Amino acid sequence: MNNIKVIKNEQDYKDALKLVEVLISRDPDPASAEGDQLNLLSALIQDYENRTFPDTLPDPIEAIKYRMEQANLKPVDLIPYIGSRSRVSEILSGKRQLTLDMVRALSEGLGIPAKVLVQKPKLDENSEYEAWGSRLITEMEKRGYFGSASSKSKNKIDLLKDFFSSFKASPQFVGMSRKSHYRSSPLTDKRALSAWAVYVSKRSQKIKTPKKYKQGIVNLSFMEELAKKSKEENGPNLAQEYLKSNGIILVIEYNFPKTYLDGATILTNKDNPVIGLTLRHDRLDNFWFTLMHELSHIALHFNQDINLFYDEIEGVKGVDLNSIERDADKLAREALVPASKWENSPAKLIPSPMAAQSLADELGIHIAIVAGAMRHEHKNYYYLNKIVNDFKVKQFFQ
């Protein structure tokens, strides 16, 4: 769709509105070409309306909230127009854009003009920060995210502004960038993920690497070689140093309450990709699989228009895996326990400690990794509990 142009008259305006309707009906990925076209059209329409109409059209979300107040409606009353309780919450919080069906239903049901609803919601920085919960602010303060500042001397809006501005983060990053990819539960507090990612990035900026990352270094062979360090007593530390020597920074930062994050890949600086791990599960097998999963994002998705990959990998139900995550999982498993070795191993048939040790010796990796893979492949997480739970990882990153 290349016929996007500056809106000079009423006919151009009507044509632009029609194009917006077409794009909204496709519900495009915000990071896609159609998503960019929708944003551009919305900006052109808003500019024309500001120049042409004496009164500025209200923000679509504010218009909905105002109508709710007028009619004494609660969020649950919007379900017939929007679809579900969780979808209503996402719309009202600005996490999701209205679809064409929603625009039509709200326009007909609540009497809100469609031209108001098709606008791109305005992002007010103070309003966004005001929505941050006090528990999250308290946890950030406890972790030292605000430095010497505290909630006793500053209000939360100023604390958050200082926190993000000191990182020189773009508004897209602070507002959970359109260029972020989530493998996460609907219950996840994405503001907490944003704070976590910025802090991990800040910490990474203080770490000097001997050289820049060279695209293509991370591949299956690289990951297999790295996995062999797991058999060493201080394998996690050796992995961190090995990655650093290749221009990749590994940062450990525990996850926040109301998040189930295992790891993330941050590609805002292509010279030094950053992997953040939370060690949410204090187990060696989880450490190595999550690390390999994040390295898979670097190997497979380095040149995609995505800067952040948030991954909740273990113990989270109801997460639909798209091709990005399936491919990353597949490469991570292949790097640790190659399919050809698994198919011909007794471990495939007998989930015993002896079979796990035999395969681990053959691969040259830690037995806990093999035990974790066996539990996954056999779909029974009670197998080999002692092996999996006896080997901890947090002790290496005090």
In this structure, how many other beta carbons lie within 10 angstroms of the beta carbon of residue 194?
Answer: 23
Residue 28 neighbours by CB under 8 Å, 6+ apart: 34, 35, 38
Residue 111 shares a structural domain with residue 131: no
- pLDDT at 15 exceeding the cut of 50: yes
Are 365 and 228 within 8 A, CB to CB? yes
pLDDT-derived band at 52 (thresholds 50, 70, 90) equals: low
Does residue 353 belong to any structural domain of this protein? no
E strand or H helix at 241: helix 235-245
Does residue 354 belong to any structural domain of this protein? no
Residue 229 neighbours by CB under 8 Å, 6+ apart: 235, 238, 239, 242
What is the DSSP code (8-state) at residue 321? P
Helix, strand, coil percentages, rounded to 5, for the chain: 55, 5, 40
Does residue 362 belong to any structural domain of this protein? no
Residue 264 shares a structural domain with residue 140: no
- Per-residue buried b or exposed e for 352-369, using 16+ beta carbons within 10 Å of the residue's own CB: eeebbebbbeebebbbbb
Distances (CA, A) of 117 to 190, 213, 356: 25, 45, 58
141 — alpha (psi -120 to 50), left (phi > 0) or beta?
alpha
CA-closest candidate to residue 33, choices 64, 2, 11? 2
pLDDT of 320 reads 58
pLDDT of 90 reads 85
CA-closest candidate to residue 277, choices 179, 210, 203? 203
**Alpha carbon distance 35, 28 (integer Å):** 5
Residue 279 shares a structural domain with residue 183: yes
- pLDDT at 56 exceeding the cut of 60: no
Pairing assessment for the beta strands 274-277 and 263-266 based on DSSP bridges: antiparallel
Residue 84 shares a structural domain with residue 146: no
Does residue 252 belong to any structural domain of this protein? yes
**Alpha carbon distance 197, 180 (integer Å):** 11
Residue 308, helix vs strand vs coil: strand
Are 286 and 372 within 8 A, CB to CB? yes
Per-residue pLDDT, averaged over 51-62, amounts to 65
Per-residue pLDDT, averaged over 193-210, amounts to 94
pLDDT-derived band at 173 (thresholds 50, 70, 90) equals: very low
Residue 315 neighbours by CB under 8 Å, 6+ apart: 260, 281
Write the pLDDT tens digit of every residue in 94-129: 778 888 889 989 988 888 888 888 876 655 567 678
- For helices 284-301 and 220-227, angle between their N-to-C axes, nearest 10 degrees: 160
Does residue 282 belong to any structural domain of this protein? yes
Number of domains the chain is built from: 3
Last residue of a domain, one of 336, 358, 388: 336
Does residue 93 belong to any structural domain of this protein? yes
Are 293 and 311 within 8 A, CB to CB? yes
Residue 265 shares a structural domain with residue 299: yes
What is the DSSP code (8-state) at residue 189? -
pLDDT of 106 reads 92
> Which residues constitute the domain of residue 79?
10-117
pLDDT-derived band at 171 (thresholds 50, 70, 90) equals: very low
Residue 109 shares a structural domain with residue 130: no
Does residue 86 belong to any structural domain of this protein? yes
pLDDT of 290 reads 98
pLDDT of 228 reads 98
Residue 84 shares a structural domain with residue 129: no
Say which amino acid occupies 45: I
- Tokens for 104? 């039509």
Write the pLDDT tens digit of every residue in 259-309: 999 999 999 899 999 999 999 999 999 999 999 999 999 999 999 878 899
- pLDDT at 220 exceeding the cut of 50: yes
pLDDT-derived band at 166 (thresholds 50, 70, 90) equals: confident
pLDDT of 122 reads 57
Per-residue pLDDT, averaged over 53-80, amounts to 79
pLDDT-derived band at 169 (thresholds 50, 70, 90) equals: very low
pLDDT of 315 reads 64
**Alpha carbon distance 353, 374 (integer Å):** 10
Identify the residue with better confidence: 51 or 181: 181
Residue 184 shares a structural domain with residue 219: yes
Residue 183 shares a structural domain with residue 322: yes
Per-residue pLDDT, averaged over 209-218, amounts to 97
Last residue of a domain, one of 336, 364, 393: 336
Residue 58 shares a structural domain with residue 76: yes
Does residue 390 belong to any structural domain of this protein? no
Residue 263, helix vs strand vs coil: strand
E strand or H helix at 35: helix 33-52
Quick one: what percent of the chain has pLDDT higher than 70?
A: 89
Residue by residue, DSSP assigns 193-231 as HHHHHHHHHHHHHT---SS---TT--SHHHHHHHHGGGG
Are 321 and 185 within 8 A, CB to CB? no
- pLDDT at 178 exceeding the cut of 60: no
Kindly report whether the global pTM for this prediction surpasses the value 0.85. no
**Alpha carbon distance 36, 30 (integer Å):** 7
Residue 136 shares a structural domain with residue 269: no
Identify the residue with better confidence: 45 or 85: 85
Residue 231 shares a structural domain with residue 321: yes
Q: What is the mean pLDDT of the chain?
A: 87
The answer to whether the Cα torsion of 31, 216, 334, 361 is positive or negative is: negative
- Tokens for 390? 């006896």
Last residue of a domain, one of 336, 371, 392: 336
pLDDT of 54 reads 44
The enclosing domain of 62 has a CATH number of 1.10.260
**Alpha carbon distance 157, 165 (integer Å):** 12
**Alpha carbon distance 370, 352 (integer Å):** 11
Identify the residue with better confidence: 93 or 295: 295
